[in-house]
Homo-oligomer: A and B are copies of this chain.
């Protein structure tokens, strides 16, 4: 199967979870209706980006698997016969919560999950408060459509995670994300940050000769604690080929779904002309497991 049709859902979220999920499912149906075999949702798509503030009550949004949200998306995958990449707030135990991507097979069963490994902590991105860092490693999820290298948002800045997924046989790199501007940032800084985000992800495509799919949240979300002016998530979900070339890119403001076709055969063609995996100096990489070399 050389051509793969991938559905992407870029949406706004409100505090009304039921409404968010209905909207996701509506878009998923449209993707499947246009032939998508794989559909990808943005990070934490069922809720507002609750990490804008540290608020104990928000842990109520988490669920143990399988829980109601998990089951709802499992059913949709089965009903439509698609592979579905979701991003859920997992309650593993009291005091252990994860930012977890669950991948459902066409039959609705769980194909596998990835727990976010790199956890940010910045003003308005208080994820180290909410999420225990992942402990499942950088292992692709094997599905009927191939091995999916699912990573999540902050992971996007780390070439190491893309590389390890590729080395483990990932055929696609997939990033559900929730990234945006702080309202106080200057315009030129906003532009640099957005460009950096795309450069980083496109760079992973080049380094590993793999298509990359980023699915980002869109729209303004208020800070319910009133500390900041809220976040503007920058949308611009996009798909690249294995040379980092943009195949499709969404706008910064629109809520949308889109089905994009990827030619999976290009990976091998590109890796033949640029055989980076052949030439990695693995005898000289030991220090990559150090924090800093001082």
Contact = CB atoms under 8 A, between A and B. Distances in A.
A181 interface: no
Contacts of A275: 122
Contacts of A138: 284, 287
A20 interface: no
Q: Oligomeric state, in number of copies?
A: 2
Given A195-B244, A196-B244, A244-B195, A281 B117 contact: yes
Contact of A196 (B118, B119, B243, B293): B243
Interface string A111-145: 00000011110100000000001000110000000
Contact of A279 (B120, B163, B284): B120
A32 to B, nearest CB: 31
B276 A164 contact: no
Contacts of A211: none
A290 B282 contact: yes
A284 B117 contact: yes
Contact of A203 (B119, B204, B285): B204
8 smallest A-B Cβ distances: which pairs? A203-B203, A159-B159, A168-B293, A199-B244, A196-B243, A192-B243, A196-B206, A200-B206
Interface of A: 117-120, 122, 133, 137-138, 154, 157-161, 163-164, 167-169, 192-193, 195-196, 199-200, 202-207, 241, 243-245, 273-277, 279-282, 284-294
17 contacts: A118-B281, A119-B279, A133-B281, A157-B206, A158-B207, A159-B159, A164-B285, A167-B292, A167-B293, A169-B293, A192-B245, A196-B244, A199-B202, A280-B291, A282-B288, A285-B289, A288-B288
